[in-house]
Structure 1
Amino acid sequence: MKVFVAGATGETGRRIVKELVSSNIPVRALVRDLEKARLILPDAAELVVGDVLNPDSLKTAIADSTAILCATGASPSFDPTGPYKVDWEGTKNLVDAGKAKGIEHFVLVTSLCTSQLFHPLNLFWLILVWKKQAEEYLQKSGLTYTIVRPGGLQNDENPYPVVMSAVDTLFDGRIPRTKVAQVCVEALFQPSARNKIVEIIAKAEAPEKNWQELFASLA
């Protein structure tokens, strides 16, 4: 297995790369700024320059990778086209490139509540709408997929157990980005994660379950 990570220098993406490297899984990390990436990402990660908005760069960047983990996301800005470009067009380009390369598994990080049109986050240039469009495009692509919808993302760690639930059943809660990264990597190895949307948060009072139990609970 070799995993291609898009959004590798983002707060969640860098944790995914670190998790893969610590699990001794070969990584190709897509970056736009090579010098910045070298300061952020583990030395063991293979860095490749490209952009999800440039489809031609993706063909070369994916190379011999067998799986894709996509943790891209539009940064908060005054550009109303940001979520459309990054969360929709960029993901679509990546799905198309993955399909052309015969990728075995595509893991996409989106967000809780993507199905809720009137959610306050859509005031940020319809960001959940475009994430939902990307989810549906991946689902219809024919690729084996896992869509991970985390709650509010936290940079700090906490010891709370992960709560995993089926599509459109969690509507609030938070989760450390490191735990999101762990879920994404584990999804590559759990048969019950295939072709599923999983919603995740972390809660102090939740029972401890191993990864197999968490993913199997969605079957």
Structure 2
Amino acid sequence: MASVIISVQNAATFSRVAGRAVPRRLPVVKVRAASSAASGLEGYKVLVAGATGGSGKEVVAALAAKNVPVRALVRDTSKAGSEGLAGLGSGTELVRGDVFQFASLPPAMEDCTAVICCTGARDPRDPLGPFNVDYQGTLNLIAAAKQKGVRQFVLISSIGADDLLNPLNLFWGVLFWKKRAEEELQRSGLTYTIVRPGGLKTKLGQGEVAGNIVMGAPGTFGIPPAKKSGSILRSQVADVCVAALTEPAAANKVVEVIAEKDAPSKPLGELFAGVNWF
């Protein structure tokens, strides 16, 4: 059951004084959502890049559910509003910007403490998409984050980024460019967490179960002899990204995540702590 915080507000009621009714103020209990302090995210303000994509929407929603102020980076604010981002509460702010245009990024990061990058090339007909979006666009975000003194950077990448022969690289080298962006983030000096999910699902199919999150070090899943890569809900990836902001064991790690129905349920902090590499 979700936690709640009880606040007290005054409301008008009446009492009898000298035989007549007079208004007085009595406390009335009001229930509201748990604050960001309860999740360790008090003081955070997070820029979400790629906020209108499938994973980006889930990250924005996960942060909003914890009452964390969110600045959603979008190229078209009117389109983003129609897609539901504007309806996530007063703490969600739409800001116009483009990862291709560096000048638009530092102003968008003003007062932000963290960046979660959910961008990814979408058009399979564009041979420059992976280079422009997954590599150059991420580099622009990293440079802007350094310029504005952002504390943390969480990047959604992909299982298979280390494997040059992965079939997904037939899509204009998409994993190759994701890997190059990972390396730039690791060299940046920012505190980072790189999250590599398996196959992304927006929702479950008929008869499917979500399963529990399984987390491993780089190269855990992929082409044999690595373990077979599975899938994971975008909402579960969002939970991993948000947890990475406050879990000490997530700092400066690359983690691969899938979901398995027979896996034990473990706290995300324990999963991060269980990943040891290099």
What TM-score comes out, normalization by structure 2 length?
0.77
Aligned length: 219
* Alignment of 1:2 onto 2:45: yes
Q: Which residue of 2 aligns with 1:35?
A: 78
Question: Could you list the runs of 4 or more consecutive aligned residues of structure 1 that deviate by over 6 angstroms after TM superposition?
Answer: none
Query: Whose RCO is larger (CA < 8 A, sep 6+)?
Result: 1
1:161 maps to: 212
- Structure 1 residue 140: Cα displacement: 0.3
| Structure with greater helix share of residues | 1
Write out aligned runs for 1:54-203 (5 A).
Answer: 54-157=101-204, 158-171=209-222, 172-203=229-260
User: What residue identity is the alignment partner of 2:101?
Assistant: N
Deviations 1:79-109 (A, max 9, x none): 1001000000000000000011111110000
Deviation of 1:24 after TM superposition, in Å, equals: 0.8
Unmatched runs of 5 consecutive residues or more in structure 2: 1-43, 223-228
Write the distance in 1 (CA, Å) between the matches of 2:157 and 2:128: 18
Structure 1 SS opposite 2:177: helix
Tell me which amino acid in the other structure corresponds to 1:169.
Answer: T
Specify which structure has the higher proportion of strand: 2
Identical columns (%): 53
Equivalent residue runs for 1:39-58 within 5 Å: 39=82, 40-41=84-85, 42-44=88-90, 45-58=92-105
Q: Give the Cα–Cα distance (whole angstroms) in 1 for the partners of residues 259 and 172 of structure 2.
A: 28
Larger Rg: 2
CA distance in 2, matches of 1:166, 1:130: 20
- Per the TM alignment, residue 216 of structure 1 is displaced from its structure 2 partner at its CA by 1.0
Give the unaligned 5+ runs of structure 1. Answer: none
Partner of 2:272: 215
For residues 143-174 of structure 1, give each alpha carbon's deviation from its aligned partner in whole angstroms, at most 9, with x where no partner exists: 00000000000011443100011111122110
TM-fit CA distance, 1:33? 1.0
Whether contact under 8 Å (2:64, 2:89) holds in the other structure is no
Distance in 2, matches of 1:117 and 1:159, equals 30
CA distance in 1: counterparts of 2:109 and 2:148, whole angstroms? 8
Distance 1:102 1:60 in 2: 12
**TM-score, normalising length: structure 1:** 0.98
- Distance, in Å, in 1 between the alignment partners of 2:191 and 2:269 is 18
Within 2, Cα distance between the matches of 1:168 and 1:98?
28
Are the equivalent residues in 1 in contact too, given 2:201–2:234 (CA < 8 A)? yes
Contact 2:210 2:233 in 1 (8 A): no
Q: Secondary structure at the match of 2:112?
A: coil
Partner of 1:13: 56
Measure, in 1, the Cα distance between the counterparts of 2:79 and 2:61.
16
46-55 vs 166-175, greater mean Cα deviation: 166-175
